Structure 1
Amino acid sequence: MSRDLFNINAEHGLLGAIFVDPSLLDDIASKVNIADFYEIENAALYQAILDCQASGDPVDVVTVSIHHPSLPSGESMLAHAAEIHSKAQGTSSWRTYARVIRERAVCRKVVEAAQAITESASEDLPVADIIARGQMAMADLRDLEDGEPDYHRIKDILPEVVEAIDARYNGTASKGLSTGLPDLDEIIRGLRPGNMIVIAGLTGTGKTVLGLQIAQHVTTQLGGAGLAFSMEMTRQELATRGIASMGGVHLGRLDEGNIEDDDWPKITSAVGRLAEARLYVNDQAGLTLPRIRSIARQCQKREGLDVLLIDYITLIGSEGGQNRTLEVGKISTGLKNLAKELQVPVIVLAQLNRGSTNRTDKRPRPSDLRDSGQIEQDADVVILLNRDMETEQGQNGVTQLIVGKCRHGKPGECVVQAQGQFVRFVPFGGKPPSDELVEMGRVLKFSSRSKGRKDHETF
């Protein structure tokens, strides 16, 4: 490796300056990370220094060796620290040392990114995947640049906040995108830019239906642009479901071709509305997160983007051989970061484990999210679908939307009506459950059962 990619003298000079004047450590720690040191022995000494500070111990040659007696090489920490202290040149140049160390670290990251791209190019991968990995690697470098400060004076933030308060008071502020379901909007207060909204449920409860319906509402009713990644259904299936949902045409008749005379005007109307919508679909299977990010950025640049739908998180391909729980957690955090980067709401569909089926009330909780608890941690909003098929109302399509987490509001729930034949949800028009049933915790549990009605088919 070229010596231009590191400077051992600068590393020794910075560590020596800390021993001369430990009060500099707060300023230095805000600019230089442990990983910025090239020499592993110097990185270990810097770690020991930070551990001393965190423990409230004085930072000197002896205390760092008490915290970490040995270097990674097995040599004495005390000897290494004493040598650096003895060669210290004072503190006047510490900022220069810190800058040099940081710059060299960034250069190494650039080289690593280039090597990663080169290795990807040598693998048997599609060109699009190689480009996506390269874009992701280069995007990660932005965090290494010395740009905005890590903190902001509250005085500088106040004008923007007061303006937002005034806009809300005057009714001119955006409250987030509507889902198309008024009762749900009232709870979550709209889909907000930068938020990750998780829609989860057991198999067959309508996760895809709800997610796609929201994307259709944003693009057909609100005039926005949406991108849906469907790794389970084809784009033709999604379009067919869109016609059924928006036209109120029985999906079974569309699939089988048994079209009735009064269906054609509905089909024509739905096709016309969907054709005008800025709704884009990607149905490639096994997409990785870098590839999803690349496609989403392309769409935002070329078409605009107001909402992003991921169906669903577990089907996103992994790039390594990590434990799947860790991999899904990493993907979840990446999707949250993508929402912040694009400044659009990202709707992520997820599966629930069957823990709720063993409870008396059958109600799912955010902790029931399958594959990784990180999904619950990353989510700004968690919407859980609960449809109890052991009850008459459940068999007839009555579904609870339980908002188990909402960063900008209180958790709550509402009831909607699933119209399985039209693959859509509509506001619930029936009699709400009694207070007694709510208190019993079985909102959808009734003693009588229907034999099943064709106008409320399951999804």
Structure 2
Amino acid sequence: MAKVNRPVLPDGPIREFFDALHQLHLAAGRPSMRNIQISIGRDVLSHTTIHKALRGPKVPSWGAIELIVEVLADKAKKNQPTTIEYFRQLWARAEGWSVDDHAQKERQHPPKDASARPILDFLLGALDEIEGTSAPEGTSRTILTGIDGLDDLTGGLRPGSLNIIASRVSVGKTAVTSTIGRSLAIERSISTAFFSLEESENEFQMRLLSAQGGVPFRQIRASQLKDEEWTRLARTMTDIASAPLWLMHSSTLNLRLFKQEIERLKSEHDLKVAIIDSLSPMVAASIEDGSAQDMADALRQLKRIGSEHRIVIIATARIKESSATYPTEPELADLKDGDDILNEADMVALLHRPDLYYFEDRPGEMDFRIMKYRHGPRYAFTVALQGHYMRILNLPRGWPNNMKDASEEESAATNEGNYGSLRHPDDSEVDKQGSSE
């Protein structure tokens, strides 16, 4: 049995809430935190999060409390719906809102952001953001992805932003997002979570080992490795193991579970970036679960989660397949649920690989077309794809077709020189092998 010390609290709704929670824990036989975690599901809440929720004094999220109360009510042989509703009322009062007159209070006392304020109130905040964006590496408030064409346009992705990377099947969305994840977590120790709805944990780990260690993916999968490649993988595993990178694989991940995991990772590990691969299965699971009504509602919830926890969210999406033998570059009209994505996302990037349809057409190159960026122009640039290593690399700035305004694609950039953190390939390294998805 686990004993949880009660927080010392003054009389009021918060004390009433924690007193009731401790009484329920006692009635359930004082199960341990790990016992509660197993009943909820190991992948849903950590035992540390459960302990903090019971210990207080900070009022936890309703999502965590609902799951804990459901388990404790079952162990205490109490009516679950009635107990959950009772605690919902207590939790709402502890949060400072009466459930019955919530709407009336909101009308009488609107949030500060809902009132018009003098422009002077905003100037210091804007100045802080400008200073943060231009600060040296490691102190900036924005997050550099390591893809330099993207970082040149954005100055780094802003916490709270929702960014969509879309392409047709097998173009390389996952190669792009895993490259960003490696750049953030392994190379710069930025806390990053990768939510995979399509690849298993083992497949993702093999992808990381191939990309980071420079060992062909097919050889890793087939276990056809030379001695020096085994040595390289061993060194790479050490680098990956020490990185602040978290992986969650679930084909049924929905918004409710995603939010709970984000809350845990933010609280315990100061999460900075969440990558979702891919968006459509998550939205479908959320609609089926009832945690979202449609794509637009799901995207708005993702933006709220990002804003509340000050994290960057990057998600992949699919573009409708073309019936043409040689498909042209994708457009926003080809994007499934394109209107909703365009309305809600802060950035939308479309990927295209000419050599996927005709081998000799710019082999090993991938075009990034930034079709929407809330804080800047449309934009296009090219990266190198190494499908056999499951990664992308930066190309020199003067590379043909690189660094163009997407609305004026006939004007090629003339600047020369190299980009930063991702290594540039030699001509011999540019990939001429197939799919990297």
TM-score, normalized by length of structure 2? Answer: 0.64
Q: Does 1:220 align with 2:186?
A: yes
CA contact (8 A) 2:254 2:289 kept: no
Hey, what does 2:219 align to over in structure 1? 253
Q: Any residues of structure 2 matched to 1:226-265 within 5 Å, and which?
A: 226-265=192-231
Computing the radius of gyration over CA atoms, which structure comes out larger, 1 or 2?
A: 1
Hey, what does 1:423 align to over in structure 2? 390
Judged with a 3 Å threshold, the aligned counterparts in structure 2 of structure 1 residues 228 and 170 are, in CA distance, closer, same or farther, namely closer
Judged with a 3 Å threshold, the aligned counterparts in structure 2 of structure 1 residues 407 and 221 are, in CA distance, closer, same or farther, namely same
Secondary structure of residue in 2 paired with 1:425: strand
CA contact (8 A) 1:333 1:374 kept: no
In the alignment, the residues of structure 1 paired with residue 157 and residue 431 of structure 2 have an alpha-carbon distance, to the nearest angstrom, of 33
Hey, what does 1:276 align to over in structure 2? 242
In the alignment, the residues of structure 1 paired with residue 237 and residue 313 of structure 2 have an alpha-carbon distance, to the nearest angstrom, of 26
Identity of aligned residues (%): 22
The residue type paired with residue 161 of structure 1 is A
CA contact (8 A) 1:175 1:189 kept: no
In the alignment, the residues of structure 2 paired with residue 293 and residue 232 of structure 1 have an alpha-carbon distance, to the nearest angstrom, of 19
- Equivalenced residues, count: 322
| CA deviation map 1:408-443 (0-9, x unaligned) | 1211111111100000001236951499x95499xx
Shift, 1:332, TM fit: 1.7
Shift, 1:395, TM fit: 6.9
CA contact (8 A) 1:367 1:376 kept: no
In the alignment, the residues of structure 2 paired with residue 250 and residue 302 of structure 1 have an alpha-carbon distance, to the nearest angstrom, of 35
Q: Does 1:330 align with 2:297?
A: yes
In the alignment, the residues of structure 2 paired with residue 161 and residue 218 of structure 1 have an alpha-carbon distance, to the nearest angstrom, of 26
Shift, 1:319, TM fit: 4.7
In the alignment, the residues of structure 2 paired with residue 359 and residue 253 of structure 1 have an alpha-carbon distance, to the nearest angstrom, of 32
Judged with a 3 Å threshold, the aligned counterparts in structure 2 of structure 1 residues 408 and 433 are, in CA distance, closer, same or farther, namely closer
Q: Does 1:177 align with 2:154?
A: no
Secondary structure of residue in 2 paired with 1:384: strand
Q: Does 1:407 align with 2:370?
A: no
| CA deviation map 1:229-267 (0-9, x unaligned) | 101111111111000001111001100000012212321
Judged with a 3 Å threshold, the aligned counterparts in structure 2 of structure 1 residues 314 and 337 are, in CA distance, closer, same or farther, namely same
Shift, 1:269, TM fit: 2.4
Hey, what does 1:190 align to over in structure 2? 156
In the alignment, the residues of structure 1 paired with residue 364 and residue 295 of structure 2 have an alpha-carbon distance, to the nearest angstrom, of 31
In the alignment, the residues of structure 2 paired with residue 333 and residue 288 of structure 1 have an alpha-carbon distance, to the nearest angstrom, of 14
TM-score, normalized by length of structure 1? Answer: 0.61
| Structure with the largest fraction of helix | 1
CA contact (8 A) 2:386 2:431 kept: no
CA contact (8 A) 1:229 1:311 kept: yes
Hey, what does 1:158 align to over in structure 2? 123
Shift, 1:147, TM fit: 6.2
Shift, 1:156, TM fit: 2.3
Coordinate RMSD, CA, aligned: 3.9
In the alignment, the residues of structure 2 paired with residue 209 and residue 253 of structure 1 have an alpha-carbon distance, to the nearest angstrom, of 17
Specify every segment of 5 or more residues in structure 2 that has no aligned partner in the other structure, as ranges.
1-61, 75-79, 413-429
Secondary structure of residue in 1 paired with 2:316: strand
Q: Any residues of structure 2 matched to 1:371-390 within 5 Å, and which?
A: 371=337, 373-388=339-354, 389-390=356-357
Hey, what does 2:277 align to over in structure 1? 311
Shift, 1:344, TM fit: 1.0
In the alignment, the residues of structure 1 paired with residue 333 and residue 409 of structure 2 have an alpha-carbon distance, to the nearest angstrom, of 21
In the alignment, the residues of structure 1 paired with residue 357 and residue 325 of structure 2 have an alpha-carbon distance, to the nearest angstrom, of 14
Secondary structure of residue in 2 paired with 1:213: helix
Shift, 1:295, TM fit: 0.8
In the alignment, the residues of structure 1 paired with residue 321 and residue 411 of structure 2 have an alpha-carbon distance, to the nearest angstrom, of 21
Hey, what does 2:418 align to over in structure 1? none
In the alignment, the residues of structure 2 paired with residue 184 and residue 243 of structure 1 have an alpha-carbon distance, to the nearest angstrom, of 24
